[in-house]
Homo-oligomer: A and B are copies of this chain.
């Protein structure tokens, strides 16, 4: 056996507890993770082979593969065909942000929604382009202000395609529908969406609502949602002050 192979096998720590409620592949994933985190398998190094892991922990190749696949999904290792599995250095390219903090605003107990406007209007050329309709076609224009306790914290405006088969229901004007969109409880017939985050500045009106200086840095979250016929049906965006949300992410083994 070549020297470096023996060394790798020798270095493996821990064991699989067959009486644990945790499946063996989860236990192995955690064992490998903690050895990566401890620096024992530094970035760029090769993990022990499938055969070595099977032998050391007395488990099946399938179990090893499931563990490795989980580590790949988490961006911690990469497998190169025929060469083995390597520990990935941390990289900004593998960072993933979620909208948790944004979503949490609407989950808070004191959250409520005030409807500012609900009108049938003619689509602007820009709205028509997003919604794949003709400029001048009638759309529903909705503007809402979301409060936490007594303070407005989030502005939302949305333009909806008018569908004679699917009249706007009361629900769509209420906080419940908006909460559903955030938390996945709505049954609105939306199939998929595109979302984008960018930096903007508070308009005169937004600044007035939020009682902040006009032009303050703000986050804009734009959305375009599609129905099950793959037609765009809702285009709009949320605006809030930059200090209200921070998009956080972690990278590497925490």
Contact = CB atoms under 8 A, between A and B. Distances in A.
Interface of A: 37-39, 42-44, 73, 88-100, 102-103, 180-201, 215, 217-219, 223, 225-226, 228, 242, 246-254
Contacts of A198: 199, 217, 219, 242, 246-247
Nearest to A194: B250
Contacts of A201: 201, 215, 217
17 contacts: A88-B184, A89-B190, A91-B103, A91-B184, A92-B103, A95-B99, A96-B97, A97-B97, A191-B253, A192-B253, A193-B251, A194-B248, A194-B249, A195-B250, A197-B246, A199-B200, A199-B242
B89 A99 contact: no
A201 to B, nearest CB: 5
Given A192-B90, A199-B218, A251-B193, A187 B43 contact: yes
B89 A42 contact: no
A254 B193 CA distance: 8
- 8 A-B pairs with least C-beta separation: A91-B184, A192-B252, A199-B199, A39-B228, A199-B242, A97-B97, A199-B217, A197-B247
Given A38-B228, A44-B187, A228-B38, A92 B242 contact: no
Contacts of A44: 187
Instruction: Kindly name the residue among A184, A250, A252 whose own CB sees the greatest number of chain B CB atoms within 10 A.
Output: A184
Contacts of A184: 88-91, 93-94
